Amino acid sequence: MFEIKYKDGAARSGVFEVNGKILETPYLFPVVNPKRQVLELKEIERLGFKGVITNSYIIYRDPGLRERALERGVHALIGFDGVVMTDSGSFQLYHYGSVEVSPSEIVRFQDNINVDIGVILDIPTPPDAGYERAQRELEETVRRAEEAAQLDRNMLLAGTVQGSTYPELRERAASRIARLNFDVHAIGGVVPLMEDYRFAELARVILHAKRGLGHSKPVHLFGAGHPVVFALAALLGCDLFDSAAYALYARDGRYITPGGTFKLEELRELPCSCEVCAEHSVKELRSLEAEEQERLLAKHNLISCLEEIKRVRQAIYEGSLWELVAQRARAHPALLEALRVLRGYSSWLERLEPVTKRSAFFYTGAESLSWPAVVRHIERLSWIERRGDELVFLPEREKPYSRSYRIASSERYHICVVSPVFGVIPLEVEETYPLTQHEGVATLDEEQLSFMRRVVGEYARGFKKVHYHAELEFLGIDGEPFEDVSQFHTGGGEELKLRALADYQLGRGAGEVLFAGARAEYSRRTGRIRRAFVGGELVATIRASDGMVVPTIAGAERLLRLRYPRCRVVVAEEAVEFAKAGKSVFARFVVDCDPEIRAMQEVVVVDESDELLATGTALLSAEEMLELERGIAVKPRHRRR
């Protein structure tokens, strides 16, 4: 029912199929009150919404609504043909302390009124509750989840993760919820965190819940209805949201934007061009009757939320979600603090980050130094076989650096550029995404300087001699300064470059098996390596857009010399013939793979006997392709004939 199409960070843009109806994720469910609709459902549908959420407990408690819902179904009751999700009364339980329905009864009721996606009746423990209370209520929520998961039903069902603000409880609860037969995973009990701008704690709650939940089901973040949090929550792996804020804020005369909320009475201009704002001035909106003003504000607020969801989906598609999150973080210090929390989770996020994207990497501030692309680069520097005894550090110039300096590494000199964004960039791998495809700033901040000194110092260890350009004196490098670069112009080194590229992208040792004895063929237009041959046989091409090594079938045969399961995606017997025919490899047929595989990496497809079937591009990370039951794991490129 859930298929990932595009990725960025832990975010997934994909399709969630519910009873034959398709929701594009990340998706926002507008909250609809079954007793009072501020906006007509036809209007909500006209704006582009294909799913809404309403409250089954309110329907259950109202005799008239209950009778009509049981007789005609929830879709007819509210007048909506799209996907209908219902909450179970947890909101009322949180606010009033009790509800007049049992956990099993409300789940059965949701199913009986033909809800598309129901929710268990969990216990929403508030932030800052004592540890013992949080643990006790978590256990009760899990018990209810286990009971609900065993009920016969036609609807999809969401299981909710609780645990207050205790990361270890959230992760533990998530792991237990993930083992049950739910169709959606939900994270609850977080509305108070958002109301109090405690976004750093919200980020930790989501991260630890996600670490326990895995990747196979869409994740709903309950109550995340303001656009200011959509980008951050999506980046951390939330796929579904619900918003009552669009209506609640309108009732209070508040005007929502992606950067924050304004009181209508305080606005001089309407900073939006939606149909409401295009047709009314601030003065006109203020002069309206209360009911009409509320309706129009709700409409604007919902459009503002929808636009931000679309903006997030576009950012995931083009690979610029990190930059969008950084922009949104500047709207409020509490959001910036949440972004800084991610520094402690860089390794986990790196496992889910694609190795190449449509968009360049933009440095937005010191937080960028801990983003997955940078963390990955620092780690992969150790994968490259070091050939020269002498290390040469150069300052940044126009990219590509080797062309600016007219220089290349050789058997004697290992030449690197010192980067304020990536620390150290060996010239052999400079064309690999995002090392050439990035933009920084001319003025360095203190965190960048500290980062550069640390990475340069660590990288220089083990070399017999270190040379550095005099412009880098400020870094305090332990070595010999120079000003004339021409003394290092030794030339050659194309095999060295090819081997370094393979090591950096595919892991230590890949360069030796793939490119030992290789010769390069260069592009006449750009002068860059485009194809690599060994003994007259084409073993790989180097993709112009991102510098990625793309093995041919001959190259894949060489990569199989690496220890199993390096570079491999292993498919089940029933998928072998499809892979041989050049068909896509679906995740449900993947039985094993290299744990270092990341999305958009080139891989080798083999059967369970380690026989080569094809090559292709991984669309998922290793752990995702092993968990997901739907969607393409590997897009084919070459097949063995």
Catalytic, 87? Answer yes
Report residue 417 as tokens: 């550029």
Task: Determine the residue type at 164.
Answer: S
Between CA 509 and CA 488 the distance in angstroms is 27
Q: Where are the alpha helices (DSSP H) in 56-100?
A: 56-61, 63-72, 74-78, 90-96
Between CA 480 and CA 464 the distance in angstroms is 12
Between CA 526 and CA 292 the distance in angstroms is 62
Query: Terminal CA-to-CA distance of the chain, rounded, Å?
Result: 34
Report residue 423 as tokens: 């620390």
The position carrying tokens 């059965």 is 108
Contacts of 561 (CB under 8 A, 6+ apart): 513
Q: Which candidate in 8, 62, 87, 445 is catalytic? A: 87
Q: Which residues pair with 521 in a beta bridge?
A: 531
Angle of helix 321-329 versus helix 290-318 axis, rounded to 10: 140
* Cβ contact 187:219 at 8 Å: yes
Between CA 610 and CA 557 the distance in angstroms is 11
The position carrying tokens 């843009």 is 13
Burial class (CB in 10 A: 0-12, 13-18, 19+), 399: middle
Between CA 617 and CA 639 the distance in angstroms is 12
* Short-list 333, 309, 337, CA closest to 321: 309
- 3-class SS at 34? coil
Q: Which residues pair with 16 in a beta bridge?
A: 2, 23
Other C-beta atoms closer than 10 Å to the C-beta of 461 total: 9
Total number of residues shown for the chain: 641
Ranges assigned E (strand) in 56-195: 83-87, 117-119, 156-161, 184-187
Angle of helix 372-381 versus helix 494-506 axis, rounded to 10: 130
Contacts of 590 (CB under 8 A, 6+ apart): 569, 570, 571, 572, 625, 626, 633
* Active-site residue set: 87
